[in-house]
Structure 1
Amino acid sequence: MLTITQALYDKIVAHAREDHPDEACGVVAGPAGSGRPERFVPMLNAARSPTFYEFDSQDLLRLYRELDDRDEEPVIIYHSHTATEAYPSRTDISYANEPGAHYVLVSTADTDDAGEFQFRSFRILAGEVTEEEVKVVEAYPPQ
């Protein structure tokens, strides 16, 4: 299960809306080994595409150096789908290389009668996709 604060949830959805019609992408980092998403890191979609995303290689290198310096890891890797449901594509699955991460997808397509955006989380290990529950909280309990 992914537990995420309302503030982080809102930031991810806002980023997806802002970058529409292109796919948005980014990371939410957290203390290494905690599994707790804390620091929102929006990234630039270097592909600038409505059907594909890729992190800029220089931005990604900077991010991983920063994560190492701060003793953090990517807890959430997110991106949006602009015209399809929030479910990993074959390309998304093939690029999933963080076994401990939650892969969050937000669909900016109007996919239900209320026009609500889909916000879904998956674990992707060795090409196998498993959807998980998302629990949105106001704040995390003290550690």
Structure 2
Amino acid sequence: MLTIDQEIYDAIVAHARRDHPDEACGVVAGPEGSDRPERFIPMVNAAGSPTFYEFDSTELLALYKDMDARDEEPVVVYHSHTATEAYPSRTDIGLASEPNAHYVLVSTRDSFDEDGGNTEGPVEFRSYRIIDGVVTEEEVTITPPQTEEESTP
């Protein structure tokens, strides 16, 4: 099960809407071994495509160095689908290289009219575990945002 706070959920959805009609992508990092998505990191879709996403290799390397320095790992790897349901494609499954990550897909297909105008319609937000090519959908629980006092031990 993915437990994610409302602020991060809203940020992922806003990124997907902002980048539409291209796919959006990014990472939510958290403390190593915690399974707590805490730090939202929107990335650039280097493919600039409505049907495919690709992390910029230089940006991705810098992100992994930064996460390593902070003792973090990618807890959520997300991207959007602009015209199809929020289910991993064969390409998405092939790219899934983080066995501990939650793979979140956001479909913006019902958020825009046929002319590409934002209708503020619903989005589909789903999470999966993808391990060795096997896709397993998981429940998503959205919690209220943490206050500073709650997030410090």
Q: What is the alpha-carbon distance in structure 2 between the residues aligned to residue 33 and residue 95 of structure 1?
A: 22
Matches within 5 A, 1:103-122: 103-110=103-110, 115-122=121-128
Match of 1:35 in 2: 35
For the pair 1:98 / 2:86, whether they are aligned, the reply is: no
Q: How many residues were matched structurally?
A: 141
Q: What is the alpha-carbon distance in structure 2 between the residues aligned to residue 3 and residue 68 of structure 1?
A: 23
Q: What is the alpha-carbon distance in structure 1 between the residues aligned to residue 55 and residue 110 of structure 2?
A: 25
What is the Cα deviation at residue 139 of structure 1? 3.5
Match of 2:50 in 1: 50
TM-score under structure 1 length normalisation: 0.95
Amino acid at match of 1:126: D
Match of 1:82 in 2: 82
Equivalent residue in structure 1 for 2:140, among 116, 134, 139 = 134
Give the secondary-structure state (helix, strand or coil) at the position aligned to 1:91: helix
Match of 1:71 in 2: 71
Match of 1:7 in 2: 7
Unaligned runs of 5+ in 1: none
Q: What is the alpha-carbon distance in structure 2 between the residues aligned to residue 96 and residue 51 of structure 1?
A: 17
1:89-129: CA deviations, max 9, x gaps?
00000000000000000001018xx9310000000000000
After the TM superposition, list the runs of 4 or more consecutive aligned residues in structure 1 that deviate by more than 2 angstroms: 139-143
Q: What is the alpha-carbon distance in structure 1 between the residues aligned to residue 95 and residue 53 of structure 2?
A: 10
What is the Cα deviation at residue 47 of structure 1? 0.2
Q: What is the alpha-carbon distance in structure 2 between the residues aligned to residue 102 and residue 68 of structure 1?
A: 19
Amino acid at match of 1:34: S
RMSD, aligned CA: 1.5
Q: What is the alpha-carbon distance in structure 1 between the residues aligned to residue 89 and residue 20 of structure 2?
A: 18
Q: Choose 1 or 2 for highest CA Rg.
A: 2
1:28-54: CA deviations, max 9, x gaps?
000001000000000000000000000
Q: What is the alpha-carbon distance in structure 2 between the residues aligned to residue 33 and residue 49 of structure 1?
A: 33
Amino acid at match of 2:69: D
